[in-house]
Structure 1
């Protein structure tokens, strides 16, 4: 057991009394005297200002959010209709080796953090540290940004996050890979190595391959960014980086606002409501396109780039809960078929909605003849939806259920770490749908980590968690969705504690061969302090 953790016996009553969702909404999103309903009305009113028929669309946007069918990214919920007004979550900034470039990027990042956004950097233009002191090197610059991010926590409702990326050819790549080896180092960064097809085709010839995979096995980082796959359909300057969670590859000064359709809300009596889904997707695309026009941008360069390309990121959440409601086990052949069909529907309706908007309002300014005639250069993505799915009461993104009862590390309004016992919404649905004894079922899972004996066998077969799946199942699911997604996908490839470095190598190679745009793995217990922890025999382990 990792140092500093303990096994906790908890009761179902503790779960019943805890209302983390309401506390998160109150502390992060609501303004003085505002209710959750008032938040949705504030956001809908602000975004609908971009429409001529603003009252009609204000009603539609309000209904989307208040029903839980769609939710925009956190900065939109926090800032729409308020003084700050920054509505985008995802940014990428350029950075070079000069003092002016480094501190200009530092200042710009602080402004983005104030509005609740996250930033990605490719640090490859910074020379490696040398004996002549002409360059301080990449890792010290990252440390500077990490310290600034810590400082900004007291000024923001949402903790800042960054992606640090480095090209595999950079002379400082090994120091970069080792930069997070010590617990707590650069904790505000996710890090990834940018690799090309030539590298992946001959990995056994590159000593760096072992270094990357061993580090990922040890600490869950770095991930890989497959730059040739990302740029295969890109006709502009090469994209070299993503936002902090990896789902949104962007050019320098690029930004994107995200929104997520809750798939679980479209399952009725085991069947998927395709018509209702299509209507929601069309309205959600219009919502996100209107965000581009009602946004307050932190930098003029970001405004110019965003308005020229009008990228949006419509994705999904609740996929795992959707499967359970349909009677399909995650990782089964049937689940892959559902994923293929759902991702295809998302692409078809989202692209059609953007094309309709292009006819009504004109295409994005950077559009050139021969490109798809759309309002938005990129339309779809799949984000992790951590807090957003909590608000919508569903499972995150396209991830499998992590655990049906678990402990989650959270940061309270005073920015102190604490833990909360969580019940997965899909578990609540199972209890209601099958008339189970809630106290008995939850207490049994919290203390033993297994389904209660009263749960029928066919229902138990649906209770698949991330740790029940082989890494190949995780990668296959990501690859299916990626075939239909314009941008990238944020997904964690979970591995058991006894996974090997060869397993990591296999997952990385399989993701590249399957045309994924990036990959992140996490081996259980790689870190002493983990964001979430499962319940097992003896109780719930504290993260």
Structure 2
């Protein structure tokens, strides 16, 4: 065994982290290494190491001396010494030793520092010994954040401390203090997130702080622990876990903002007895592994999926994130079903709703086939009460469900065609007055509207309501075929050949529909004919409704419950230095479509009807998010021609590469079963169906049809090779996953520049960081501006000091002309084979304007709309606003309630899809 002394080999001075210098002491390094080896080997401090371990330590020390002797400087930073040792240990595979060594060094360093601080008489450190540790956490979390005032945070924290407070309570107080500063400085968003991250590390790893090493040595243990606890699929143990752990990128956690990581911690990370066992990077790898289970090269696929997810380039939907890699991989987002006109099937569907909701599925039910009130029941010779009593049960079933152990609320939307005899009662389901037995306060409603109804409203014509038991084929027909048959039934009703019917002015029904929409937010307005005529899988199938969030449009029948699997591209990540990185977009879409297609085969199906439908048609819904943030980055106002052109350009490329990706999958895995029954088999693309809609409707669709890609070649390839998936695109709300990735949701304009977000994780203040950055450049960002923003409910339009170009860029949702949002959606819709969750914003109380807005959406060929949001009860909480500062009130400000608050406009329903 080799022994040697420092004097014979090297004479150096070590520079410590605090700037102090000490002589190089090889014995201290040797002691630390031996302590680390003994700790891992479970040896007593006085026991000897094995000869093999002793030789390794001596060899490492010789290498260290040899390396540093070559350096010209006589000063050695302590970080270089420790990095050398850690790297040497890890190269030999001694990950546990590296962990133990670093822990030993850091604990001794902290003890010495704390001892010195106490000897100096630092009163707060004496009262609260953990204060030093908290400040070290704060210092670490503040790295690369230039605008954090650590001293102010410490002073504020000390004010919150009290005798007996625990370390965890003090840590939580520090997080909340940091979060409270977000409205003043956006950098605190990242700081608060990093403080939460240290909590996660403490739960998963203990007090060890080297995240990179700890991720590499603990990942395998996480999978094993999850499997043993029956939380993870044992098949995950079949992966090369050492290899997968080596590609983890814990530094990506620094991209999280406060709300995103808070949501991830509260609801997504797997825990055992309320203690998290996975970090964010473990989480992304677990999801990726779960989606790669059936891949031939599953490690390669898992790594590709992991990088796509963890870099925030693409994010899978919430059910996929919840359940991928678990024993119950219910990964799909949406389920659509049709209710048949029989008691058995009515209650079967209600039971199916409960099963689907249990595993976090968002549900859309079509009830048009069920007979209306007053129809005769053949078996009992009595009269039916119609659909309303059953919908009350549907509502209560959704409330009674506890999806994913309370991680989200059960949500459902019920659809009814507007010729159904119960339509007038249906419109009142969400009213707050009337017989509560005929109200559904927790369920969403939507009208399924044929083109003929819109035409009758335009011409102030008569509209006839029918009982579907007497007009059974109406629900199956679309376009001109529907119009012809509907008119035949009207003639029958006039001749008295139908037992039940009712006539009224179409405009009166439309006015009632919009009145209820304005009052209650329901029913949503969705269009039957565009949804069917423009479906590329429509030849032998009928689309009878949409889903919970109105973006999924799939055929349903008694034998098939339609299923859709969702995920969204983060548009912000697809641009660099103001330009679209098209190769990155293509790569991301190919990975995303592959993940979505894998869901279909891996998925746990709560009902046989859902499994049958999904395996036969294999639809997926690739969407996007971050459009508004992208506009901020590119300095393009939403209300501009450039924004319209950008939406058009992006959606064309997304459509092209999504279809190409599915075609490539078809070459390898085969076509979806019903391919020959679809328009895809003729090379017909979504853009081509605009003319079909115009022909069926009898009037042109006024929308730009320019293209920039080689669609003709793609048509021929699809005809030759087929597609793996019957549907490929749908833009979902992305409320939750957009928050996780820290971007703006879906295609939505920003609701406000300053607001409070509310969801199951709590309420959190959010500010527009792009606005803050631009105001800082003009030296306009100060306490007075914050006060003004609060007083103006997050709007900058009435703040005179702000330049007009910024006012144009930072218009909020209610300040943007709704026709721009509709035109932007129409530009996308020409490329999309399904639909969009399109919210419309109402800054007026004029019924005519509301009607014109929806007619514009219909004329532009949109398939569906989602919420119509009004300004009512949407103001910022003024509790922190000084109402006595009248001097700062900008000219033109209007008086507002000091007790109201502004929500982000996101509802719990949104996050069921995303």
Aligned partner of 1:466 among 813, 824, 840:
813
Which aligned pairs between 1:433-472 and structure 2 lie closer than 5 A? 437=781, 442=786, 444-448=788-792, 449-451=794-796, 457-472=804-819
How far, CA to CA, are the matches of 1:432 and 1:312 in structure 2? 43
Is the contact made by 1:12 and 1:442 (CA closer than 8 Å) also made in structure 2? no
How far, CA to CA, are the matches of 1:310 and 1:190 in structure 2? 27
How far, CA to CA, are the matches of 2:342 and 2:790 in structure 1? 53
Higher mean displacement: 388-397 or 124-133? 124-133
Task: Specify the alignment match of 1:188 in structure 2.
Answer: 442
The CA deviation at 1:540 is 6.4
Task: Specify the alignment match of 1:5 in structure 2.
Answer: none
SS in 1 for 2:539: coil
1:245 aligns with 2:245: no
Distance 1:35 1:365, change over 3 A: same
SS in 1 for 2:623: strand
SS in 1 for 2:731: coil
Query: TM-score, with normalisation over the residues of structure 2?
Result: 0.54
Unmatched runs of 5 consecutive residues or more in structure 1: 1-10, 413-417
How far, CA to CA, are the matches of 1:146 and 1:381 in structure 2? 26
Deviations 1:392-420 (A, max 9, x none): 111111111111211233234xxxxx533
Is the contact made by 1:404 and 1:426 (CA closer than 8 Å) also made in structure 2? no
Distance 1:46 1:431, change over 3 A: farther
The CA deviation at 1:220 is 2.4
1:390 aligns with 2:739: yes
Is the contact made by 2:411 and 2:548 (CA closer than 8 Å) also made in structure 1? yes
SS in 2 for 1:255: strand
Task: Specify the alignment match of 2:624 in structure 1.
Answer: 316
Which aligned pairs between 1:34-433 and structure 2 lie closer than 5 A? 34-130=278-374, 134-153=383-402, 155-182=405-432, 185-203=439-457, 204-205=460-461, 206=506, 207-232=508-533, 233=535, 234-252=538-556, 253-368=561-676, 369-370=681-682, 372=718, 373-412=722-761, 419-424=763-768, 426-427=770-771
Distance 1:426 1:298, change over 3 A: farther
How far, CA to CA, are the matches of 2:595 and 2:785 in structure 1? 40
SS in 2 for 1:250: coil
Aligned partner of 1:481 among 813, 828, 837:
828
How far, CA to CA, are the matches of 1:534 and 1:318 in structure 2? 26
Deviations 1:136-192 (A, max 9, x none): 322221211111111113744221111111011100000001111218953432211
Higher mean displacement: 182-191 or 482-491? 182-191
The CA deviation at 1:31 is 0.6
The CA deviation at 1:294 is 1.2
SS in 2 for 1:93: strand
Is the contact made by 1:113 and 1:156 (CA closer than 8 Å) also made in structure 2? no
Is the contact made by 2:795 and 2:812 (CA closer than 8 Å) also made in structure 1? no
How far, CA to CA, are the matches of 2:418 and 2:626 in structure 1? 35
SS in 1 for 2:289: helix
Distance 1:425 1:360, change over 3 A: farther
How far, CA to CA, are the matches of 1:128 and 1:291 in structure 2? 39
SS in 2 for 1:193: strand
How far, CA to CA, are the matches of 1:309 and 1:429 in structure 2? 48
Is the contact made by 1:220 and 1:520 (CA closer than 8 Å) also made in structure 2? no
Higher mean displacement: 209-218 or 322-331? 209-218
How far, CA to CA, are the matches of 1:267 and 1:436 in structure 2? 29
How far, CA to CA, are the matches of 1:440 and 1:360 in structure 2? 61
SS in 1 for 2:447: strand
Task: Specify the alignment match of 1:20 in structure 2.
Answer: 259
How far, CA to CA, are the matches of 2:731 and 2:870 in structure 1? 23
Is the contact made by 2:362 and 2:411 (CA closer than 8 Å) also made in structure 1? yes
Larger radius of gyration: 2
Deviations 1:479-512 (A, max 9, x none): 111111110100111011x331111211111111
How far, CA to CA, are the matches of 2:659 and 2:780 in structure 1? 42
SS in 1 for 2:392: helix
Is the contact made by 1:13 and 1:439 (CA closer than 8 Å) also made in structure 2? no
How far, CA to CA, are the matches of 1:438 and 1:485 in structure 2? 44
The CA deviation at 1:455 is 6.1
Distance 1:131 1:338, change over 3 A: closer
1:505 aligns with 2:755: no
Distance 1:434 1:349, change over 3 A: farther
Deviations 1:405-450 (A, max 9, x none): 11233234xxxxx533223465577579989858776554234334
Deviations 1:300-329 (A, max 9, x none): 111111011110000100001111111110
Higher mean displacement: 193-202 or 71-80? 193-202
How far, CA to CA, are the matches of 2:779 and 2:540 in structure 1? 55
Is the contact made by 1:116 and 1:156 (CA closer than 8 Å) also made in structure 2? no
Is the contact made by 1:339 and 1:481 (CA closer than 8 Å) also made in structure 2? yes
Deviations 1:263-321 (A, max 9, x none): 01122222222221121111111111111111111111111110111100001000011
Unmatched runs of 5 consecutive residues or more in structure 2: 1-178, 193-257, 272-276, 377-381, 462-505, 684-717, 879-892, 904-914
Task: Specify the alignment match of 2:901 in structure 1.
Answer: 541
How far, CA to CA, are the matches of 2:368 and 2:778 in structure 1? 55
How far, CA to CA, are the matches of 2:772 and 2:529 in structure 1? 43
Aligned partner of 1:29 among 268, 271, 277:
268
Query: TM-score, with normalisation over the residues of structure 1?
Result: 0.90
How far, CA to CA, are the matches of 2:791 and 2:602 in structure 1? 49
How far, CA to CA, are the matches of 1:404 and 1:23 in structure 2? 21
Task: Specify the alignment match of 2:209 in structure 1.
Answer: none
Task: Specify the alignment match of 1:522 in structure 2.
Answer: 868
The CA deviation at 1:128 is 1.9
Give the count of matched residue pairs: 525
How far, CA to CA, are the matches of 1:376 and 1:159 in structure 2? 30
How far, CA to CA, are the matches of 1:433 and 1:315 in structure 2? 34
How far, CA to CA, are the matches of 1:403 and 1:542 in structure 2? 8
How far, CA to CA, are the matches of 2:396 and 2:326 in structure 1? 28
Is the contact made by 1:470 and 1:495 (CA closer than 8 Å) also made in structure 2? no
Structure holding more helix per residue:
2
Higher mean displacement: 267-276 or 339-348? 267-276
Is the contact made by 1:255 and 1:306 (CA closer than 8 Å) also made in structure 2? yes
Is the contact made by 2:290 and 2:326 (CA closer than 8 Å) also made in structure 1? no
How far, CA to CA, are the matches of 1:377 and 1:425 in structure 2? 40
How far, CA to CA, are the matches of 1:49 and 1:70 in structure 2? 19
SS in 2 for 1:494: strand
Is the contact made by 2:551 and 2:835 (CA closer than 8 Å) also made in structure 1? yes
